[in-house]
Chains A and B, each alone.
Chain A
């Protein structure tokens, strides 16, 4: 478990506790422990509450924050509400109206399903739940810790008010950052939700002032309002479908010299996710059109059958696990490449209405008006002019294979078996042999005693860098190359704040990133191994990553993610020609590097073709 959880236990258990008999933990303590995973800061509370509102079919959501959401966070929605008798269960751990069986969990399409958010929040803050179920004569309110709802005034929907977050848990409160940082995180949480639900309107007020208002609109309009006009102007549309898998969205213009903001949003079945496989796929597609490692902005929405993806990896649920990650990688990369290579004649076309229908007016009462939770059903969407996406046949085949083989079994819960197990290195002095050629700027062909070795050079390089970083960090810190000419760039406020908050972690990673103003940063030092990559893009990536991780000891909790972000950065260089000597050097490093059989994304890095197999191809008996 994560260290912070231990902190909790230690707070609660006096010294010498070892001698006590084993007992079940009190329920509030369990909730507080669970809160350690789900509730990290106001933004995570906001995210959970927004998801609940959407699950309740809300069409208009009003958010009010005070002091970055720490002091007060209030959300009002016009959803179907909660009946009086269900108010108390809603605040109880593992109580949910959304799933009832394991079977349902595998096909879960609502945003929430663990039934622990409200209980967790109530255990670390003052929570009041006010709701009027559709058709109910009036509303009821229930405060955390109380049993009996009291009558209250509310026209429709649900209002949840959370005050004094971590007020009773000083150990957690001290990890909260400045009001501006926490507010910025809340803004980001809202952006993610808002992108996924353009048909819902949102209002965000901070300290009594309206900071953002988004009316119900089309997906294109929503992306434009969230990612900015500048992004939208040069953006390309992405749309592709392969069997049951679809992708839709907008990606930044590769030629846009200074991208408006490095906003990168991926949604899987309507749920925001951070996923290395997906990020890598987009980056790989851009690598062909961008020199260096410029990072694009994008908002992309993937739909696939719920059984093809496991969302139950992490309680905060921004991580997912694809059953067939290699296939998804290919599919996304092709779709994005196709959008990028589309000629200027295929300039952006306005999207049709992305909402399933016109935004419903706020309903008040009416027994028939209860809508089911907004389920995200993976239907093929065609919001764009139908254009045949390149590379479709192949990915389609991959997907049919994927789903016919998997069937609708309960595999979603298992850790996905890697589709490829790295073979042990062959015997001999130089197990991977000598390079003989480079294929399409992607693969190295090498000859070893057993036959032919094919190496994916980017994947291999990535793995090598990653392991080197890991080793370095086990020492004290990663070797740094300070820059003679610092790289300055315009940054989001949140990036500037993050650079300050995580100066120590950055230092150990080899970075020095200092503010020039409230909205600009200078990179003064980069990890020596990455001295030649685009410092700005690298810095932004790492800051973004840090910003995601929230409080605490990022280098112990998130070391591997950070290092793989860095490695990924340096390694994605499509079409670089290597000399035989360089290729041999890479092979030797692979042999030395632990686990070089797979890149950081779990893809294989090399493959052996035995001479005997080749002989068979040519019907050559031996």
Chain B
């Protein structure tokens, strides 16, 4: 039975879109497959890991409706390896998916479409709003790196999304540092607070374009749905109570200075060469007009860096995990950043002059 004939890229693109979430070794073997469904001149592609599900579709010639599932990885590898612009046809015969392109022939095993577990969508998508893809992508980029990974406090392994009138806020923290950002949106929904799983956030950021094309976000009590272009992403939410970020973000710090972002990155990267392999402690001494950065390692080797800053606050000698500093510097895009400090034992606040809605809080380290 004929499924589709199309140029390679017309097939590769949707398959790439959905297969990012396919787990290589899932306990349910069928979940390494993609669900291909042909209905009414449309071919849809769907992948899921039960927590999150992505689907997209492409036009195809009209014909008999059909559905099957086939290994995502193999399909992707085959299409990638075929020459660009090749004409590819797919047929379903005797439980095999046959792929033809030029003189290449492939025959892949399939599993029955009926056995494929799809995520059933909630009936209660109440709160929703629409933003440009570019803005959402930038918003996620500002905080996503601060999410926890495999933390036992499962609610930290995700991103807190708060939607309220006129604004969407995102917060991520791994318990050591916290990133907060906000974006003006057109919405008049009641305040919603949900935690989006880490994997969903990373996949979403990967799929979003740098365009002004809209993305629609809908929230239900246990699900969140993103629709953009031909793509629909539905994800479960993480249950649990996210820490109160307002209590973590300091206010009223008097000691602050601004510094060129690239310059600070340079200093930190060079100094970090001589940090302890594992915990990457750097010492920062802020004093009149200068920021001194130094590192020593267990072999008593030492690195020193100095940058001129406009500063007349208290002299502060404070240690940090250099990765926490480099992380934020790599993800904000502004020319300069501002660092505000309390004392050597309190958290530091990093902000950017061009986006007043961005805040990054990091705990010092006692070296």
Contacts and interface: CB of A to CB of B under 8 A. Distances in A.
A484 B173 contact: yes
A529 interface: yes
B365 A479 contact: yes
Given A481-B321, A482-B345, A484-B248, A529 B279 contact: yes
Contacts of A479: 276, 279, 281, 365-367
B197 interface: no
Contacts, number: 69
Contacts of A481: 176, 279, 321, 363, 365-366
B362 A294 contact: no
Interface in A519-557: 525, 528-529, 531, 534-537
B177 interface: yes
B63 to A, nearest CB: 43
B11 to A, nearest CB: 31
A471 B298 CA distance: 9
Contact of A484 (B176, B276, B278, B367): B176
B365 A484 contact: no
Most buried by B among A480, A510, A585, A589: A480
Interface in A549-594: 585, 589
A529 B279 CA distance: 5
Contacts of A589: 277
Given A468-B298, A528-B281, A531-B279, A482 B151 contact: no
A100 interface: no
A531 B152 contact: no
A447 to B, nearest CB: 23
Nearest to B248: A484
B361 A484 contact: yes
A480 B345 CA distance: 11
Given A480-B366, A529-B278, A485 B152 contact: no
B128 to A, nearest CB: 30
Contacts of A292: 150-152
Nearest to B243: A485
Contacts of B361: 484
A534 B153 CA distance: 9
A215 to B, nearest CB: 38
Interface string B123-163: 00000000000000000000000000011110000000000
B53 interface: no
18 contacts: A291-B150, A292-B152, A294-B152, A468-B278, A471-B298, A480-B366, A481-B176, A481-B321, A483-B176, A484-B175, A484-B178, A484-B361, A528-B278, A528-B281, A528-B321, A528-B366, A531-B176, A589-B277
Contacts of A485: 173, 175, 178, 243, 248
Contacts of B298: 468, 471
A468 B297 CA distance: 11
B14 interface: no
Interface string B185-204: 00000000000000000000
Nearest to A486: B175
A481 B279 CA distance: 9
A320 interface: no
A480 B277 CA distance: 15
A398 interface: no
B364 A482 contact: yes
A525 B366 CA distance: 9
B363 A484 contact: yes
Task: State the 8 A-B residue pairs at the shortest beta-carbon distance, nearest first.
Answer: A528-B279, A480-B366, A484-B363, A292-B152, A534-B152, A485-B175, A485-B243, A482-B363
B321 to A, nearest CB: 7
Interface string A588-621: 0100000000000000000000000000000000
Nearest to B176: A484
Interface string B275-287: 0111101000000
A155 to B, nearest CB: 55
Contact of B153 (A487, A510, A585): A487
A338 B313 CA distance: 62
B345 A585 contact: no
Contacts of B279: 479, 481, 528-529, 531
B363 A483 contact: yes
Contacts of A585: 277
A481 B319 CA distance: 10
Contacts of A468: 278, 298
A291 B362 CA distance: 26
B347 interface: yes
A479 B361 CA distance: 20
Contacts of B281: 479, 528
Interface in A261-291: 291
Contacts of B153: 487
Nearest to B149: A532
B362 A484 contact: yes
A73 to B, nearest CB: 40
A327 B111 CA distance: 45
Contacts of B363: 481-484
Contacts of A482: 345, 363-366
Contacts of B178: 484-485
